[in-house]
């Protein structure tokens, strides 16, 4: 995989040119690495990673240290109240 910002036209064109002129052995190596990474990081991996990251956030009730990442606990009543507006 080659990374580029699609909003940077000059950079994107350089990356496209690089991809089109890349030696075959490098293309094969990059593709094999990409396929191996995608096989390991499937939807189950991403789901577990996401839920793990969400679980690491602390609610205000759990922790009140200054500077820690926190978010208020959300209940179903909060959604009902929001939807009623």
Residues of the chain with pLDDT under 50: none
| Predicted local confidence at residue 71, as pLDDT | 67
Q: Classify residue 77 by its DSSP letter.
A: H
Rounded to whole angstroms, the Cα distance separating 62 from 71 reads: 10
Using an 8 Å Cβ cutoff, are 18 and 3 in contact? no
pLDDT at residue 12, as a whole number: 94
In this prediction the pTM is: 0.48
Distance in angstroms (rounded) separating the CA atoms of residues 34 and 26 = 12
Domain boundaries, the chain: 1-57
Q: How far apart (Å, rounded) are the C-alpha atoms in residues 58 and 63?
A: 6
């Amino acid at each position: 995989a080659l990374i580029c910002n699609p909003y940077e036209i000059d950079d994107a064109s350089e990356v496209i040119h690089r991809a089109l002129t890349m030696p075959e052995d490098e293309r094969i190596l990059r593709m094999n690495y990409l396929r191996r990474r995608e096989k390991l990081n499937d939807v189950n991996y991403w789901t577990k990673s996401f839920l793990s990251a969400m679980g690491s956030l602390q609610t205000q009730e759990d922790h009140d240290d200054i500077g820690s990442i926190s978010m208020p606990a959300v209940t179903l009543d909060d959604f009902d109240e929001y939807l009623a507006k």
